[in-house]
Amino acid sequence: MLTYSQLRALERPPLRSAPTREFYLHLTGNMHQFIWGFDGKKWSESDMIRFQFGERVRINMVNDTMMSHPIHLHGMWMDLYAGGNLDTNPRKHTVNVQPAELLTVDITADAPGQWAFHCHLLYHMEAGMFRTVAVVRSLEGGSIDANA
Tell me whether residue 84 is in a domain. Answer: yes
The verdict on residue 144 lying in a domain is no
Burial of 82 (0-12, 13-18, 19+ CB in 10 A): middle
In a domain, residue 141? The reply is: no
Measuring CA to CA, how many Å separate 130 from each of 6, 14, 22, 106, 140? 29, 28, 19, 19, 24
Predicted pLDDT at 6: 78
Tell whether 3 is covered by a domain: no
Q: What is the pLDDT, as a whole number, of residue 1?
A: 77
pTM summary value: 0.89
pLDDT score of 145: 55
Q: Do the domain assignments include residue 29?
A: yes
Could you give the CA distance from residue 39 to residue 24 in angstroms, rounded to a whole number? 9
Per-residue model confidence (pLDDT) at position 31: 83
Say how far apart CA 104 and CA 94 lie, in whole Å.
Answer: 12
Q: Which helix or strand (DSSP H or E) is residue 124 part of? A: helix 122-126
Q: Tell me, what's the pLDDT at 34?
A: 86
Tens-place pLDDT, residues 81-125: 977 778 888 899 999 999 999 999 999 999 999 999 999 999 999
Q: For residue 105, what is the domain's CATH number?
A: 2.60.40.420
Domain of residue 84 covers: 15-136
Assess if residue 142 is contained within a domain. Answer: no
Contact 52, 139 (CB under 8 A): yes
Number of domain units in the chain: 1
User: For 127-144, what is the mean pLDDT?
Assistant: 85
2 within a domain of the structure (yes/no):
no
Q: Is 105 part of a structural domain of the chain?
A: yes
What is the predicted pLDDT for the residue at 143? 54
